[in-house]
Structure 1
Amino acid sequence: MSQKVVRLTLAAGVTVLVALLLLVALDGKKKDDKADDRPKKATANSAPSVPRLNVPPAYDTRRGWDVAAPSPDYAITGTSDRAGDPEQAGDPDRAGRPERVGYLERVGSDRFRLRTLDPTTGKHGWSGRPWRPLSSPDRFPRLLSVSKDDQDYFVTWSYGKLDTDPLKPPDSIVSLDIYRADDGSRERVVVPWTDSPTVGGTGPGILISDGKATSAVVDPADAEVVKVPRGSLGYPKGCANCRELTEVRAMTDKGLLVSGAKEFWVRGGWFSRKFAPKGTEPTSGVPASVAYGSGSGSGSEHSSGHGYVLAKWQKKKGSKDAATHEVWAVHDASTGKALAQARCRKPAIAPGDDPRLVVSPDGRHLVAGRLAFDLDEKAAYCFEEPDGTDPLTLTTVTDQGVAYGATSARDTADALAGGGSPVQVDLTTGTPEALAANVRLPSGETAGAGLFRWTDAKDVPHLTGYARRDRTDP
């Protein structure tokens, strides 16, 4: 089996583990496993029957696919031309890369394999080689996607310890396998890491952090790793808030996005104070979520295209509703410019994992909790009653500007699990429309299909995709 030795370039210096040790510990090679690292091509097989779930009418349950017992995480790569935009159709700079859905499946009792499929047809593409992660075999490894320089990657990762020397404490590492989405070729990267890590793909690099101010960035193209210590975060001058509760939040194409107790900045780039939305206090910004390119539903990560930062701002002191309302704005991750903003009652939304920013496949529409944005029209909505009650929780949005969600759901996970009352919203009008009570909401959206997570009567999880209906369809 071929295996590349990955370069590690860490600012603070680390111990590079021996590649052969990693092969034995992580791949768990068996007698019947003599294949190399080249991905396996798709093989012909009979298509399983596709369940007919109750879903919104925009999806055709006659045209779909189903995967049984996949990983909780799935990831989407690829881009597409903006649907229905004649000015952009055929533009070579807008040409799309084939969309792929990636998920993990079990191989035996303790190994896993990455598989890919075409979300429009359900046809399987390449499959990765089985490997044994560092984490417990009763849990799936984690999966995300990332894009750099028009090349898409799937990334699997796990965290654990290797007993390299019986006389020394075991080394804790983050092990990542980076797959090129177009051909499935794999690169393994190992990063020594002391604390429990947070790993994300929102940007042109893979960000590893301790949930605070220490981080490392992995370049998916050349496997280079750069560790960023707390003292190298480029704190803006005159920002006392920036040095309190400092946290590395995401990777953007201009550098790391970092926040303090209040205010946020991109290291070596822009500072939030200079891009406060109209009518807000310049020193009050707090980032809540970051998303890149296409939308990513619950249980998925999708990073491809332009970056956006969702942030909460306090209204200017003395304004008539400063005591009752806040401003939520979407910022360009490259420049810091506020692209659209909405006014919501407080404290109905608190920054954190929810609301999580979700982007339509073409990048025009965004939703997060009760918030929705149309960047082309610079329109923004906060779906709640005037007193802040009965809010919507939006989970997914399509290229056509149709958002799905539920009223009276506790959060996104609750809405996707069937909590609340399902609705759809046409963002061209901003008017919610009730759906049947038993309609299942899509957890993700690609250019050609909606993705649905569900569990059958035998407690087996499924990932099902249904093609979107053409406008000419009945």
Structure 2
Amino acid sequence: MRQKIVRLTLVGGVVFLALLLLLATCGGDPGGEGKNGAATGTAEPVEPPGAGPVTRLTVPPQYATDRGWEIIGASPDVAVSHTAGLLAYLERSKDGRYRLRTVDTATGELGWRGRAWTQPDPSHYPKLAAVAKGDRQYFVTWSYGKVGDGLSPSSTFIALDLYDVTNGNRQRVEVPWSGAPDVHTTGPDIVISDGKANSTLVDPVTGEVSELPADKLKYPKGCTACKQLTEVHGQTPDGLLLGGAREFWVSDGWFSRNVAPKGADRGSGVVTSATPGQVLAKWAPAKRTKRAATHELWAVHDAASGEVLTSVECHKPAIKPGRYPQAVLSPSGAYLIAGNLAFDLEAKQGRCFEDEEGAAHLTLATVTDDGLAYGAENARDASEALAGGGIPVVMDFATWSTERLSRNARLPGTETTGVGVFRWTDRQDRAHLIGYPRAG
């Protein structure tokens, strides 16, 4: 089933329709609106945000704090287009509306901006990410909520706004949905799932929506575990990435049993995370081997073919984590990190950072194209490391060694065009985004 755009089923007549139109078009821009929702008058960059002295934070020595740019009042989530050199963020006005804005990370100049709009749930910032399909890239915001007039039943839906990275042209897609959604933006489509086997795909280029219910899924022959706890993990160029209690596969594509890393139990693979081009999976060593009871294999697979790009062995944790670490890719795709794991994809090498007893004390959070990864010792996860928890460290892929940073050093949340982006909250509880260029 495909259609150009999904709209909510009308329940309650004219009043309900009016509410929908208000949600879709509310806001306007005093300065006027351009084609497809991009704000007019934004092709020419304006003054750098936070023009004047930039707040000087304690950061890793690889960055210069005597110059850069600063934004005050940005959203918790940001998205980056490394090809365009743009960072997108949301700002919220006093009347509860939101606007997507962009900044050129290399210069600090403001780029295009979207028009102001109201989301279904105004109490929280919408989520924000980037998604690419072919050679086109989009910033996407989404929020989940309900609409109703108090007389007719409320209907819940996901509102997505898709912005062309090059010019800010915007289209809205509304998808009826019940229950909290899982949204995957590894591309090429935006995948919405219920945390299980039901999913809906949104084409970021056309806005077309495809429903893929669980009863339409195809399972690999002979894989009984695939039908247990089936879950959608995202999408690859050939189809949905799916996993069961054990083993995983791509619909109309490859099957994990056929691409298992050397030394692994071929029927044990579990997807833990995915990036636009890679799948990170955990495997058990082959049965009846010496390390089968004490260790696990972690492998990075090519999302298109399933081929193992590199793998590494780690001790099993004493307590199974409630949530696996999310894979983070460097801008060029040369390096990948996830928790205490680090992979050099070009050199086809990996490292598991743990002590002799197998305890993992290091969590990596950010990785850059110059072969450096930033994280913290004794932090529970990447979010805690970026928020200042633990002892900050930098890991160098050239030597696979770590070095402690200043105890109060802040870590970059991301880096692009040679500029590290740092987050800081002032005494007035205002969020700041600060871009510092690399030193030297």
Same fold (TM over 0.5): yes
Q: Which runs of 5+ in 2 are unaligned?
A: none
The answer on whether the counterparts of 2:82 and 2:417 sit within 8 Å (CA) in structure 1 is: no
Quick one: distance in 1 between partners of 2:418 and 2:26? Answer: 38
From 132, 136, 141, give the equivalent of 1:151.
Answer: 136
Following superposition, the deviation at residue 358 of structure 1 comes to 0.5
- Matching of residue 360 in structure 1 with residue 360 in structure 2: no
Quick one: distance in 2 between partners of 1:386 and 1:417? Answer: 28
Following superposition, the deviation at residue 391 of structure 1 comes to 2.3
Following superposition, the deviation at residue 402 of structure 1 comes to 0.8
Quick one: distance in 2 between partners of 1:353 and 1:100? Answer: 30
Following superposition, the deviation at residue 138 of structure 1 comes to 2.9
Q: Residues 215-272 of structure 1, C-alpha deviation per residue, up to 9 Å, x if partnerless?
A: 1000001110001100222211111111111111112222111111111111111111
Aligned to 1:89: none
Q: Residues 47-73 of structure 1, C-alpha deviation per residue, up to 9 Å, x if partnerless?
A: 143111111111111231111121111
Letter in 1 for 2:61: P
Q: Residues 274-310 of structure 1, C-alpha deviation per residue, up to 9 Å, x if partnerless?
A: 1111101001011111112xxxxxxxxxxxxxx1111
Quick one: distance in 1 between partners of 2:135 and 2:364? Answer: 29
Residue 277 to residue 352, structure 1, CA distance change in 2 (3 Å): farther
Following superposition, the deviation at residue 115 of structure 1 comes to 0.1
- Matching of residue 131 in structure 1 with residue 117 in structure 2: yes
Residue 73 to residue 350, structure 1, CA distance change in 2 (3 Å): farther
Following superposition, the deviation at residue 131 of structure 1 comes to 0.3
- Matching of residue 342 in structure 1 with residue 312 in structure 2: yes
Residue 19 to residue 405, structure 1, CA distance change in 2 (3 Å): same
Residue 342 to residue 351, structure 1, CA distance change in 2 (3 Å): farther
- Matching of residue 399 in structure 1 with residue 369 in structure 2: yes
Aligned to 1:161: 146
State the secondary structure of the residue aligned to 1:173. strand
- Matching of residue 50 in structure 1 with residue 48 in structure 2: no
Following superposition, the deviation at residue 352 of structure 1 comes to 6.2
Following superposition, the deviation at residue 44 of structure 1 comes to 2.8
1:390-469 counterparts in 2 under 5 A?
Answer: 390-469=360-439
From 72, 94, 99, give the equivalent of 2:85.
Answer: 99
State the secondary structure of the residue aligned to 1:63. coil
Q: Residues 385-435 of structure 1, C-alpha deviation per residue, up to 9 Å, x if partnerless?
A: 121125210011111111111111111112112222111111121111111
From 169, 172, 178, give the equivalent of 1:185.
Answer: 169
Identity of aligned residues (%): 49
Following superposition, the deviation at residue 78 of structure 1 comes to 3.4
Residue 340 to residue 49, structure 1, CA distance change in 2 (3 Å): same
The answer on whether the counterparts of 2:33 and 2:39 sit within 8 Å (CA) in structure 1 is: no
* TM-score, structure 2 as length reference: 0.92
The answer on whether the counterparts of 1:26 and 1:134 sit within 8 Å (CA) in structure 2 is: no
Quick one: distance in 1 between partners of 2:204 and 2:301? Answer: 25
The answer on whether the counterparts of 2:100 and 2:115 sit within 8 Å (CA) in structure 1 is: yes
Q: Which runs of 5+ in 1 are unaligned?
A: 1-5, 80-97, 293-306
1:263-278 counterparts in 2 under 5 A?
Answer: 263-278=247-262
1:48-447 counterparts in 2 under 5 A?
Answer: 48-79=52-83, 98-135=84-121, 137-163=122-148, 168-292=152-276, 307-347=277-317, 350=320, 353-447=323-417
State the secondary structure of the residue aligned to 2:61. coil
Q: Which moved more, 1:341-350 or 1:398-407?
A: 341-350
Quick one: distance in 1 between partners of 2:171 and 2:334? Answer: 33
Q: Which moved more, 1:255-264 or 1:166-175?
A: 166-175
Following superposition, the deviation at residue 170 of structure 1 comes to 1.9
**Aligned positions, number:** 428
Residue 350 to residue 452, structure 1, CA distance change in 2 (3 Å): farther
Quick one: distance in 2 between partners of 1:8 and 1:26? Answer: 13
Provide the alpha-carbon RMSD of the alignment: 2.2
Quick one: distance in 2 between partners of 1:377 and 1:31? Answer: 50
Quick one: distance in 2 between partners of 1:34 and 1:440? Answer: 39
Quick one: distance in 1 between partners of 2:66 and 2:188? Answer: 37
The answer on whether the counterparts of 2:354 and 2:360 sit within 8 Å (CA) in structure 1 is: yes
Following superposition, the deviation at residue 158 of structure 1 comes to 1.3
The answer on whether the counterparts of 1:396 and 1:443 sit within 8 Å (CA) in structure 2 is: yes
Quick one: distance in 2 between partners of 1:368 and 1:383? Answer: 11
Following superposition, the deviation at residue 110 of structure 1 comes to 1.2
